[in-house]
């Protein structure tokens, strides 16, 4: 059985830093980020606690490929993607559920 996956983008309060990640459980991963379970991680060091973009995939391998693709993009292209999905760059944490 193949697991699904998600790609997500986090930012900080000033929206000055973008972080792209991939996970098989977006709810659990966001909990890790918010609780700063790894205080030395990039997301913790830069206080990236706002999820502003995400995509779900049927297979984790698809999510990994998408993450690799997005990481190669310049910031301007990432901002266009985010603006189409979430024009006000609101924190979408309430959209994430355990299901």
CATH of the domain at 58: 3.40.1440
65 in any annotated domain: yes
Below-50 pLDDT ranges, the chain: 99
Q: What is the pLDDT of residue 40?
A: 87
- Which residues lie across from 5 on neighbouring strands? 57
pTM score of the predicted model: 0.92
Q: What is the pLDDT of residue 55?
A: 97
What does DSSP assign to residue 72? Answer: H
9 in any annotated domain: yes
* Total domain count, the chain: 1
Radius of gyration of the chain (CA): 13
99 in any annotated domain: no
The C-alpha atoms of residue 36 and residue 81 are separated, in whole angstroms, by 27
- Which residues lie across from 55 on neighbouring strands? 7
Q: What is the pLDDT of residue 1?
A: 55
Q: What is the pLDDT of residue 99?
A: 45
For 69, counting Cβ atoms within 10 Å of its Cβ (0-12 exposed, 13-18 middle, 19+ buried), the class is exposed
């Amino acid at each position: 059985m193949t697991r699904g996956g998600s790609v997500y983008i986090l930012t900080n309060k000033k929206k000055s830093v973008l972080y792209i990640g991939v996970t098989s459980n977006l709810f659990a991963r966001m909990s890790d980020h918010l609780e700063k379970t790894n205080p030395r991680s990039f997301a913790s060091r830069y206080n990236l606690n706002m999820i502003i973009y995400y995509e779900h995939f049927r297979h984790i391998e698809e999510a990994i490929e998408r993450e690799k693709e997005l990481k190669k993009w310049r910031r301007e292209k990432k901002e266009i993607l985010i603006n189409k999905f979430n024009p006000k760059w609101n924190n979408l944490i309430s959209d994430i559920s355990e299901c």
